[in-house]
Amino acid sequence: MSEASEPTNQPPTEQPDRSIKSELKKRAKAAEKEKKAAEKAAKQQELAAQQAAAEADYAAEFYGTLPLHQSQSRPRQPRVDIASLPSRDGETVLLRARIHNSRAQGSKMVFLNLRQRIESVQALMIVAPEKVSKQMVKWAAGLATESIVLVEGVVKKSPEIIKSATVGTVEVEVSKLFLISGVEARLPFTVEDADRTEAEIEASGDQFNRVLLDTRLNNRVIDLRSQTNQAIFKIQAAVGDLFRQFLHSHGFLEIHSPKLQGAATESGASVFKVSYFKGGAFLAQSPQLAKQMAIAADFERVYEIGPVFRAEDSNTHRHLTEFMGLDLEMTIEEHYHEVMEMLDGLFLSIFHGLRDKYQKEIDVVNKQFPAEEFKWREGPEGTLKLSFKEAVDLLVEDGVAREELDDINTENEKRLGRIVRAKYETDYYIIDKFPMELRPFYTMPDPTDPTLSNSYDFFMRGEEILSGAQRIHDPKLLEQQMRDKGIEPESMRGYLDGFRLGCSPHGGGGIGLERVLMLFLKLNNIRRASLFPRDPKRLEP
């Protein structure tokens, strides 16, 4: 065995003992440090718990975002309209509304202007122990304009009239507030801006945004929420209702005619042609043919409310390529003036109905579109009726050259309206006996002067709102007139056949709903009177 492998008998050194002691000290120190840290953390947790307890959101159940509405339940809780609030002083109410605008005052109070259609009311949320927390107020103040909310609160008389709301005599002290639907996209403009008058914008030194018509139409959904538009389309619906009520009371039957036709009803130049399987068809320029065929079928008196299509490249303030037509047709016993007088009675009924039942809405519109009140004759003299010749004479007396008046163009129509208003104090009048060359093929000629026709137009504020006439019910005369206007009778055989089987004398008229609304309210552009207007440059939205 070699020396290197022999065991040694020397005593061990003290180095390992020192290393162990050092390690033990380190561990003791670390343990102490951990203990102190744990004690500190426990203290911090205790303090945090105490602070959280002090700031507990005791109102958490009284506000927040509701789950997606999928008709999960139906608790049948009564809800109220803002318009009814003045009669509910002291009541706790539940209502759904949009946030028109909001304003926080510090961390303990927020004002909300709540809106329903044309009505609005001020709501107030104030921090109150066990009822409304700071967190609740902060959350409410952060809700986006145009959010839809469910509000519960107490109605209280306001100490002074609140001018920023349509219902200004009361306010709602909010106790619960829930978000039904939020706003996820950036608003192109606010409804508040959309409702501003031109006078308010100018008085502000252009600090307020001016929302142009194209911007409104491109973002029609938000524009239609304005109080002005809510009022406009409530009045539009009223015109339709009043039209129906009057005609029902006079024995008329509502019909529904097709809008796809095999031939043009007015003139080929202003008709939309569409593909129809292996052939072509046309969009109806009016329900004219169907109305007359209904008379030939002994319906006696008919009317229709429906779309009318005109392929006219007219980019004016009063033309649309699609509008709502209010049409009627009736049999004649003795004279076509029976029809003209029926139409006159219809318009007077509509005017009275709007004034008597919708003055509040008219006032809302007038705030943004100030206008002289629409005037019509209400005395025993009745509606002003002029012949075409008398209308021309009035214009000639006012300085218009007679040779320019073979037809009365738009400019001279307006001029005539101003003359009539000044001379006869009316915005509504009728012109009778138009030249035959200006009327459609189905118009009955005057019995004594074939250059004139048994036709009439009705006017509001110097613009035409109805065109009508006695129709030709004799098939031979009708065929001749069609050929004279460049229409091949064979292309409208189904129409002509109705007259070959015998048809009563009849007449009628067609009214443009949007034009009546525009002129009654003086909106200055027909697009404002159409929900989603269609013109040569607009097919969206």
Question: Catalytic site residue 310?
Answer: yes
Question: Catalytic site residue 319?
Answer: yes
Single-letter amino acid code for the residue at 178: F
Query: Among residues 152, 173, 300, 312, which one is catalytic?
Result: 312
Query: Among residues 98, 310, 461, 473, which one is catalytic?
Result: 310
Question: Catalytic site residue 318?
Answer: yes
Question: Catalytic site residue 464?
Answer: yes
Query: Among residues 120, 455, 467, 530, which one is catalytic?
Result: 467
Query: Among residues 338, 341, 404, 464, which one is catalytic?
Result: 464
Question: Catalytic site residue 421?
Answer: no
Query: Among residues 115, 515, 527, 528, which one is catalytic?
Result: 515
Q: Do 344 and 250 contact (CB within 8 A), yes or no?
A: no
User: Which phi and psi (to 5°) does residue 118 adopt?
Assistant: -95, 0
- Distances from the Cα of 419 to the Cαs of 337, 373, 383, in angstroms? 25, 17, 16
Q: Do 113 and 145 contact (CB within 8 A), yes or no?
A: no
Closest CA to 186 of 150, 215, 222, 162: 222
3-class SS of residue 222: helix
| Neighbouring-strand partners of residue 103 | 111
Single-letter amino acid code for the residue at 541: P
CA 8 to centroid of chain Cα atoms = 109
Query: Among residues 318, 439, 471, 473, which one is catalytic?
Result: 318
For residue 131, give every residue at least 6 positions away whose Cβ sits within 8 Å of its Cβ, in sequence order, or none. 59, 62, 175
Question: Catalytic site residue 107?
Answer: no
For residue 403, give every residue at least 6 positions away whose Cβ sits within 8 Å of its Cβ, in sequence order, or none. none
Query: Among residues 115, 319, 506, 527, which one is catalytic?
Result: 319
Q: How far apart are CA 520 and CA 371, in angstroms?
A: 10
For residue 111, give every residue at least 6 positions away whose Cβ sits within 8 Å of its Cβ, in sequence order, or none. 102, 103, 104, 105, 122, 123, 124
Q: How far apart are CA 184 and CA 114, in angstroms?
A: 19
**Catalytic positions:** 310, 312, 318-319, 464, 467, 515
